[in-house]
Amino acid sequence: MTTMAEPPAPAKQRSTSPRARTLRRAIRHGGLIFGGAVLAVIVFVAIFAPWISPHDPYAQNLPNRLIDPFWGAKTDPAHLLGTDQLGRDYLSRIFHGARISLLIGFTTMIVSGLIGTAMGVAAGYFGGRVDDIVNFAIVTRLSMPVILVALAVVAVAGSSLTVVMAVLGCLLWDRFAVVMRAATRQVRDLEYVAAAQALGMSTWRIVASEILPNVGGALIVVATLEMAHAILLEAALSFLGLGVQPPTPSLGLMVSEGRQVMFFKPWLITIPGAALFLLVLSINLLGDGLRDVTSPEGRG
Amino acid sequence: MLGFLARRLALAVLVAFTVSAVSFVLLRASGDIALAIAGESATEADIAAIRVQYGLDRPLVVQYFEWLTNALQGDLGRSIFFNTPVMELIAERLPVTVGVGALALLFAIALSVPLGVAAAMRPNSIVDHLAMWLAVIGQAMPSFWFALLLVLTLGVWWRLLPISGTGTFQHYIMPAIALGYYATPAIMRLTRAGMIEVLQSDYIRTARAKGLRSGRILFKHALRNAVIPVVALAAVQFGFMLSGSIVIESIFALPGVGHLAWISLQRSDFTVVQGIVLMLALIYICLAVLADLFNAWLDPRIRVA
Amino acid sequence: MTDTLLKVEDLRVSIPLDNGTLNAVRGISFDVRRGETLCIVGESGCGKSLTSLAVMGLLPKRAKRTATTLAFDGDEIGNLPERRMARLRGDRMAMIFQEPMTSLNPAYTIGDQLEEMFLAHRSDGRRAARARALDLLQKVGITGAERRMGQYPHQLSGGLRQRVMIAMALMCGPDLIIADEPTTALDVTIQAQILHLLIELKREIGLSLVLITHDLGVVARVADRVAVMYAGEIVETGTAQEIFANPQHPYTRGLLDCVPAPGMTKPGEPLGTIPGVVPSLIGELTECAFRERCPLAHDACRRPIPLYPVGPGREVRCVLADRDERTGERRATA
């Protein structure tokens, strides 16, 4: 006679290290996989755009203007997504547009990430006066109408890729600061930091070896979300004409250019807009998925 | 509570001054305004003349203090293009922007709060997944693209709403939707998270044990506590909407502050831009203070400390 | 009007989990008579809180409840729709919870929450509600009741809050109060006060009380009858005197051994412990749940053990219950 009913067949011996568990959760998370996959494709396209684009995105071909994409009426197999008002191949422009968006998003994320993380970690770790100052800076930054200020600076400094990246990088650090501050505070209060301090470790070493590795999860999540934010902002700036300048194929700029003929050739705005949407969506799904997977209790 | 108010106001004033200084410096220091005003075909002499004319040759600090003294008296300078006081220009256009912003916020709240509550009451149900998908999609949509799509679908193809101008109330609906949808994900998520947390709290269990009807429990007990953080978020989002009005107003040709900023930027009329930046910042700061106060009032633990 | 106020027969609560079904309450039966105090004793995780929630119909959504009989004052309540159940709750059966600090809504005054209880079940108006609230606040020993009515929960101490909870439970004059560890979260001195209050009230109003606790000291002070729970089952029932004087189930004996008895336990004498841990209740248990930890276990324990009656109102879930301890001979079973 058995004492207990047979337990379910023992599962394969699975490692239960935190990293393995996180990885398993990641694989099962639909949004993470979808977002990551789509983003991977877009990144691939962006990196290899000069080689895989069927045409030169800058090459104008006026006799071939406004050809429809492959689902339209007046199509041309050489131009799968049609051409714009200047006869430029849209598919190639989308590829290069993605390249620009990713470049700007990534660079801005790095710059604002460095600024914001430094401020946030300092505020979280040292507390007191430093915390007050950083908090004040954050509140001040939040009170500023970012789009307007960015536009104004670009208007004065001249609109180029570098200027846009610099401006956005210097303006979008607030989320990083807030999140890193909160994460650092959580970690700071844990015992091993106190142990390190008791051992006389220098502040720099403590931050580098105890704090940073443990706030890395939060950092990655914010970084992805801020990258998406930067991409959207740059698109808005370019749409308004004060970002990347023509003939550079920025997706926002393409929407703005397409607007002139939007009523009878709507795909000129739907395609670049959809590309932007897909890019930002995949980044957001990836970021949300990373957050869900690294801290499953904090959903929503 | 009074001490809280005093400290909050002091902070607000300090922030206002800092914002004005930072934006002032940013603007002047990021390049040569005189060059921007003069245009590309100007000569050195032209540019120098403009510099003197607008006092741009003086030290930055001096420029700032002059501007600040005037601003404190209500004088935000004069528009180069319109040749009218900036304050006047802003005043006549602010109602449109605030109106659209308020309508947008109303739309956002009306959509996201019920959705967030419904999602919280049935976690992992169809409603919940729908709400989360709406949030994800909303956050990924570029605002200008969404606005243009609205124009195409609602305005042109289905002819439901007018696509530009300000004649009637209908003229404000599409701009409000285009402006407001961006706030829906954040508000919805916060409402949902707040409600989920509140619904699991002990006092809700007590309310059920008292035999109260579930509607009463939801509205009187749960929502009352869950809504507190949403108020602060709504205020912040409204501030963002004012900032984002520049895109929407230029698409829908609404004569608001955003549109004013837009055309002033194109014409290098930086006095106007400076004034608008200050005005928007002040509005946001006031909203934040009001939100904090409202929060404190809503939570008896702060109000009756 | 029956003498048996609450009748529970074969109550079961199960909770579906990722890795199986947790059978948290595995067939509990008990009665509560009018004016009687029943204490359900057991360690954390034995299912006593879930039992009380099950009786009130307050289980979380994913939990499943079944019972052969779940009757209040003669009426079956096991199948009542939620609406009807809600009308009973607060009106005729009320509940007091363990955590006074978080069981009151921080956004509303004490008075508002007290009156709300009354107004939910009576149509006598606000003034009557307020009068009753003041009366009860005084009754539970809160001075300055008028002032307290306008205060918020965070302005009261834990002991005061629990008194408010008791007052709130009494607002509609219920026949039965279920108190789930009402004193566990309080200081010892406050504990004594609250218990004293409960005894007084019981005496005054003839209240029936089901008091859930893990503290035998509380049981000794308040209980008329006791039901000892272990691993989702009742393992022994009896009056308080019977249980303390002559515990029959090895678990009950083990529990009593763990508690120092004033006058009997010598200083320096080691307190008893019960080795082992509670078995997992996921899936079916086909033996005595206490077998692994029981000093008297033997082969006959490797099957589901029923409750053996050993006297009027006295039952023990142990195969040795029908044997006299001293002689080892079978006792006559009823």
Give the mean pLDDT of C24-29.
Answer: 90
Is pLDDT above 90 for A277? Answer: yes
Instruction: Tell me if C52 sits within 8 A of C236, measured CB to CB.
Output: no
Least confident span in A132-136, A208-212, B216-220, C91-95 = A208-212
Helix (H, G, I), strand (E, B) or coil at B298: helix
Is pLDDT above 70 for B141? Answer: yes
Is pLDDT above 90 for A235? Answer: yes
From 3.40.718.10, 3.10.20.30, 1.10.3720.10, 3.40.640.10, which CATH number describes the A45-270 domain?
1.10.3720.10
- Nearest chain A residue to B146 by CA distance is A273
Is pLDDT above 70 for A36? Answer: yes
Chain C residues with CB under 8 Å of B213 CB are 83, 86, 120
CB contact under 8 A, C286 and A8: no
Dist. CA B66–CA A99, nearest whole Å: 45
Query: B75: which residues sit within 8 A by CB, 6+ positions away?
Result: B85, B87
Whole-number pLDDT of residue B81: 79
Is pLDDT above 50 for A2? Answer: no
| Range picked from A25-34, A89-98, A271-280, B75-84 for highest mean pLDDT | A271-280
Instruction: Report H helices in C36-149.
Output: 48-56, 82-88, 110-121, 125-139, 145-149
Dist. CA A108–CA A114, nearest whole Å: 10
Is pLDDT above 50 for A3? Answer: no
* Domain edges within chain A: 45-270
CB contact under 8 A, C103 and B210: no
Whole-number pLDDT of residue C99: 86
Whole-number pLDDT of residue A11: 44
Work out the angle between the directed axes of helices B86-121 and B184-199 (0-180°, nearest 10).
40
Give the mean pLDDT of C146-173.
Answer: 90
Query: C89: which residues sit within 8 A by CB, 6+ positions away?
Result: B208, B209, B210, B211, C56, C57, C58, C95
- Nearest chain A residue to C280 by CA distance is A4
Helix (H, G, I), strand (E, B) or coil at C212: strand
Report how many Cβ contacts below 8 Å link chain B to chain C.
73
Give me the residues of B, 12-71, that contact A with CB < 8 A.
14-16, 18-19, 22-23, 26-27, 30-33, 36
Least confident span in A139-153, A202-216, B176-190 = A202-216
Give the mean pLDDT of A146-166.
Answer: 87
- Nearest chain B residue to C172 by CA distance is B210
pLDDT: is A85 or C330 the higher one? A85
DSSP H/E element including A107: helix A90-126
Whole-number pLDDT of residue C322: 64
Dist. CA C8–CA C227, nearest whole Å: 13
Report how many Cβ contacts below 8 Å link chain A to chain B.
146
Given phi > 0 = left and psi -120 to 50 = alpha, else beta, which region is A220? alpha
Is pLDDT above 90 for B106? Answer: yes
Whole-number mean pLDDT of chain C? 86
Whole-number pLDDT of residue A6: 44
Give the mean pLDDT of B79-99.
Answer: 87
The confidence band for C125, taking pLDDT boundaries of 50, 70 and 90, is confident
The string of pLDDT tens digits covering residues C32-70 is: 998 899 999 988 888 888 999 999 999 888 889 999 999
Which residue is associated with the tokens 């990258």? A227
CB contact under 8 A, A5 and C303: no
Whole-number mean pLDDT of chain B? 85
Whole-number pLDDT of residue C153: 92
Dist. CA C90–CA B206, nearest whole Å: 10
Is pLDDT above 60 for C333? Answer: no
The string of pLDDT tens digits covering residues B174-229 is: 899 999 988 899 999 999 999 988 988 889 999 999 988 888 888 888 888 888 88
Q: Which amino acid is at A258?
A: G
pLDDT cut 70: percent of chain B above it: 99
Domains and CATH numbers, chain C: 4-322 (3.40.50.300)
How many beta carbons lie within 10 A of that of residue B157, not counting itself? 11
Is pLDDT above 70 for C323? Answer: no
CB contact under 8 A, A3 and C284: no
Nearest to C284 among A1, A5, A8 (CB): A5
Give the mean pLDDT of C199-207.
Answer: 85
Chain C residues with CB under 8 Å of A3 CB are 286-287, 291, 302
The string of pLDDT tens digits covering residues C236-263 is: 999 989 888 888 888 888 888 877 766 6
Whole-number pLDDT of residue A9: 46
A81: buried, middle or exposed (CB in 10 Å: 19+, 13-18, 0-12)? buried
Whole-number pLDDT of residue A299: 36
Q: Could you tell me which of B290, B168, B293 has the C-alpha nearest to residue B238?
A: B290
The string of pLDDT tens digits covering residues A56-78 is: 878 887 777 777 777 777 777 77
- Nearest chain B residue to A227 by CA distance is B140
- Nearest chain B residue to A240 by CA distance is B247
Chain B residues with CB under 8 Å of C107 CB are 224-225, 298-300
CB contact under 8 A, A3 and C283: no
The confidence band for C308, taking pLDDT boundaries of 50, 70 and 90, is confident
Nearest to A3 among C19, C20, C302 (CB): C302
Instruction: Tell me if B262 sits within 8 A of B246, measured CB to CB.
Output: yes
Give the mean pLDDT of A202-226.
Answer: 80
The confidence band for A298, taking pLDDT boundaries of 50, 70 and 90, is very low
B282: buried, middle or exposed (CB in 10 Å: 19+, 13-18, 0-12)? middle
Give the mean pLDDT of C116-134.
Answer: 90
Q: Could you tell me which of B137, B304, B164, B162 has the C-alpha nearest to residue B248?
A: B164
Whole-number pLDDT of residue C189: 84
User: C279 CA to chain A: closest CA distance, Å?
Assistant: 10
Is pLDDT above 70 for A297? Answer: no
Chain A residues with CB under 8 Å of B288 CB are 139, 143
Least confident span in A35-39, A193-197, C209-213, C262-266 = C262-266
User: pTM to 2 decimals?
Assistant: 0.81
Whole-number mean pLDDT of chain A? 82
Give the mean pLDDT of B51-77.
Answer: 81
- Nearest chain B residue to C95 by CA distance is B209
pLDDT cut 70: percent of chain A above it: 91
Is pLDDT above 70 for A113? Answer: yes
Chain A residues with CB under 8 Å of C19 CB are 8
Dist. CA A82–CA A207, nearest whole Å: 53
Chain C residues with CB under 8 Å of B299 CB are 106-107
Query: B212: which residues sit within 8 A by CB, 6+ positions away?
Result: B221, C86, C90, C116, C120
Residue among B125, B128, B204, B206 with most chain C CBs within 10 A, to mutate: B206
Least confident span in A241-245, B11-15, C34-38, C212-216 = A241-245
Whole-number pLDDT of residue C229: 92
User: A93 CA to chain B: closest CA distance, Å?
Assistant: 18
pLDDT: is A285 or B83 the higher one? A285
The string of pLDDT tens digits covering residues C207-239 is: 899 999 988 888 888 899 999 999 889 999 999
User: B264 CA to chain A: closest CA distance, Å?
Assistant: 10
